[in-house]
Chain A
Amino acid sequence: MDKILEVKDLNISFHTYAGEVKAVRGVSFDLNKGESLALVGESGCGKTVTAKSIVRLLKEPPAEIKEGSKIIFNGKEDVVKMSKKRLRSFRGEDVSMIFQDPMTSLNPTMTIGQQIMEALMIHKGMQKNEAKKETIKLLETVNIPNAEERINHYPHQLSGGMRQRVMIAMALSCNPKILIADEPTTALDVTIQAQIMDLLGELKNKFNTAIILITHDLGVVANFADKIQVMYAGEIVERGNREEIFYKSMHPYTWALLNSVPRLDTENKEQLYALRGTPPDLILPLKGCAFSSRCEYAMEICLERKPVETRLSNTHSLSCWLQHPDAPKVNRAEVLRGEMNE
């Protein structure tokens, strides 16, 4: 498979009055053509920052992409070093993004037709009539009924699900090779969430677009993502394909994520597994494993030294000292049966 995106040793800091916040620390991953990748983690773990840096949407300063970070698009271009002019065409044509809150990401003073046409006219140099026809076609692709009428509507006249469809239509207007979806369904109801996720899946197959899905909900990922990366405090702590993360995951944080959501298909009335405490403050210097303060398997070495990445298979790897040959063995099956009480 062809690599469409390679992120190498990405380090991003924010300079604030309180000090330097190291939001993303040494993140590397690949994305193949037509593949779907999920970034999972709690708020503040750096998943959105990682995604935004791919489109260079972070405001610099206060953000700073550290030296040595590489985001290679299509095997040749480094996004970090792109000129402003190239970035303008890069965004939209090559990579586009949809956001969590569709109300604040659409312009309230323009009809949705104008907003989609604008992209087509600028990027593809279409004439107005042509762009209008294309817009109607796009809105039909994302299953918006009465598209011809809808293009004259303003965002406030649409429901949340409709607005998110408009965002998707706009993002797809120039056939991008990568679509970044930042919590696209968090603001929506479950029934609408199912519709939107189905739509994203359909479009992925139809246009062979690679999708980066950012979410905190492992459920959404279960039937969508090819690859999953779990992030914690600015680092990828475990990565693998669907089966590996859901059935063979070995990182205590991934277990905690899997365990802390009650499941519909089991009748388990026991206490939910709740992680102690909160994620670390990234302004303070981190020593050892970032998760060690909340991890119940933490050993002395976890507090002292950062774990190295262990490869379990070609696709599955994690950073945890429990993988060290001398570490005590933890029975995964027992942990995931919900016996991790406070």
Chain B
Amino acid sequence: MSNENLIEVVNLKKYFNVGKNKILKAVDDVSFNIKKGETLGLVGESGCGKTTCGRTILGLYAATSGHVYYCGKDVHAMDFNEKIKFKKNAQIILQDPYASLDPRMTIGEIIGEGIDVHFKLTRIERQRRINELLDTVGLNQEHASRFPHELSGGQRQRVGIARALAVEPQFIVCDEPISALDVSIQAQIVNLLVRLQKEIGLTYLFISHDLSMVKHISDRVGVMYLGSMVELAPSFNIYQKPLHPYTKALISAIPIPDPKIEDERKRIKLEGEVPSPINPPEGCKFFKRCVQATDKCKNVSPQLKEVEKNHFVACHQC
């Protein structure tokens, strides 16, 4: 990991117009950066805007306001040629390996599509490259002529990874890459992602609701709640001493596979559920469910501030 920022996200906002003058604030003023070779984890409950955030960073959604810089260049203000170059460098691995592969294409075609767009290779070189990629992700060369429906979930996710790697990217957004898989297969995929990072020096934005997996793979973790980043810290810190009351509750809700610890643990119970991101409450978005809330929390929206070195939190009480 170097000190150079690969991705800088500055005051990023993504609103969706859902009709009847209602606006859904999926990502609301989020700022962070990702260093070269780092894995940043993004966690939060469903509907907190983590996927939208990942997609807006890649330019798959146009940002409502704010900027995303890739190596100093604004992703949303690139011209055509720059955009092609950016898309070669930044890839995504999607959540559902059943829905994200074209059922009518063979695995070889799926992986080769990106190669055709970005590289000029001869047929033999292209085939060699595809075989090489299949090998990297732990599939056999004979898989190239198979169709997605012939593969298991874990194998499909490997194809998804090979497809992303085909264009030799530097940055990959992993959007819940393991949620649809079985526990033992999850471990295989995570080990593969870690190995690839070590070998090729990839940078990951790892989006997941599985906090223990995020802790395992990430260098730093950002916690999102209703479109805002509420805490951002090195992964060890965030689990050892979380500061934001939401992070605390989230972490205490994760079961630990050890009965003795589990029996002694005290859960912080969160009342109710995540409010709708359509017209979210003013002030602190966590206000209604927070045990420490005061009047200030109700009226003033807290900003992300550095309370310790590299440990940022958005809470008036911390």
A interface vs B, CB < 8 Å?
Answer: 42-43, 159, 161-162, 189-195, 197-198, 216-223, 242-243, 246, 256-258, 260-265, 267-269, 271-275, 278, 342
Name the contact of A216 in the complex, choosing from B183, B216, B254 (C-beta under 8 A).
Answer: B183
Q: Which residue of chain A has the shortest Cβ distance to B186 in the bound complex?
A: A260
Distance, CA A162 to CA B259, complexed state (A): 28
* CB-based contact A161/B211 at 8 Å: no
B283 at the interface (CB under 8 A from A): no
* CB-based contact A265/B256 at 8 Å: yes
* CB-based contact A192/B273 at 8 Å: yes
* CB-based contact B253/A191 at 8 Å: yes
Taken residue by residue from 188 to 209, chain B's Cβ proximity to chain A (1 for < 8 Å, 0 otherwise) reads as 1011001000000000000001
Determine how close the nearest CB of chain B comes to the CB of A63; give it in whole angstroms: 23
Q: Which residue of chain B has the shortest Cβ distance to A253 in the bound complex?
A: B184
Taken residue by residue from 261 to 286, chain B's Cβ proximity to chain A (1 for < 8 Å, 0 otherwise) reads as 11101010110010000000000000
* CB-based contact A260/B154 at 8 Å: no
Q: Which residue of chain B has the shortest Cβ distance to A219 in the bound complex?
A: B255
* CB-based contact B254/A161 at 8 Å: no
Taken residue by residue from 211 to 227, chain B's Cβ proximity to chain A (1 for < 8 Å, 0 otherwise) reads as 11101100000000000
Distance, CA A269 to CA B191, complexed state (A): 11
Given known contacts A217-B183, A223-B263, A263-B257, what 17 new A-B pairs fall within 8 Å (CB)? Answer: A42-B184, A161-B273, A189-B45, A189-B209, A190-B209, A191-B250, A197-B255, A223-B262, A242-B259, A258-B257, A260-B183, A263-B258, A264-B239, A267-B236, A269-B216, A275-B187, A278-B154
Q: Which residue of chain B has the shortest Cβ distance to A218 in the bound complex?
A: B257
Determine how close the nearest CB of chain A comes to the CB of B205; give it in whole angstroms: 19
Q: Which residue of chain A has the shortest Cβ distance to B188 in the bound complex?
A: A274
Name the contact of B256 in the complex, choosing from A43, A192, A194, A263 (C-beta under 8 A).
Answer: A263
B249 at the interface (CB under 8 A from A): yes
Distance, CA A256 to CA B186, complexed state (A): 12
Name the contact of B190 in the complex, choosing from A194, A256, A272 (C-beta under 8 A).
Answer: A272
* CB-based contact A219/B257 at 8 Å: yes
Determine how close the nearest CB of chain A comes to the CB of B262; give it in whole angstroms: 4
Tell me which residues across on chain B come within 8 A of A243, comparing CB atoms: 259
B interface vs A, CB < 8 Å?
Answer: 45-46, 152, 154, 182-188, 190-191, 194, 209, 211-213, 215-216, 236, 239, 249-251, 253-259, 261-263, 265, 267, 269-270, 273
Given contacts A219-B256, A223-B263, A246-B257, contact A274 B182 (CB under 8 A): no
* CB-based contact A222/B254 at 8 Å: no
A-B contacts at CB below 8 angstroms, number: 113
* CB-based contact B254/A219 at 8 Å: yes
* CB-based contact B257/A261 at 8 Å: yes
Q: Which residue of chain B has the shortest Cβ distance to A145 in the bound complex?
A: B272
Q: Which residue of chain B has the shortest Cβ distance to A267 in the bound complex?
A: B236
* CB-based contact B258/A222 at 8 Å: yes
Distance, CA A194 to CA B251, complexed state (A): 11
Tell me which residues across on chain B come within 8 A of A260, comparing CB atoms: 183-184, 186-187
Interface centre among A197, A246, A260 (most CB of B within 10 A): A260
* CB-based contact A190/B184 at 8 Å: no
* CB-based contact B262/A42 at 8 Å: no
Name the contact of B212 in the complex, choosing from A159, A191, A223, A264 (C-beta under 8 A).
Answer: A264
* CB-based contact A42/B236 at 8 Å: no
Determine how close the nearest CB of chain B comes to the CB of A46; give it in whole angstroms: 14
Distance, CA A194 to CA B267, complexed state (A): 9
Q: Which residue of chain A has the shortest Cβ distance to B261 in the bound complex?
A: A265
Name the contact of A222 in the complex, choosing from B183, B209, B212, B255 (C-beta under 8 A).
Answer: B255
Tell me which residues across on chain B come within 8 A of A193, comparing CB atoms: 253, 255
Determine how close the nearest CB of chain B comes to the CB of A184; give it in whole angstroms: 14
* CB-based contact A195/B256 at 8 Å: no
* CB-based contact A262/B262 at 8 Å: no
Name the contact of A264 in the complex, choosing from B152, B190, B211, B249 (C-beta under 8 A).
Answer: B211
Q: Which residue of chain B has the shortest Cβ distance to A275 in the bound complex?
A: B184
Given contacts A159-B273, A192-B273, contact A223 B255 (CB under 8 A): yes
Tell me which residues across on chain B come within 8 A of A195, comparing CB atoms: 269-270
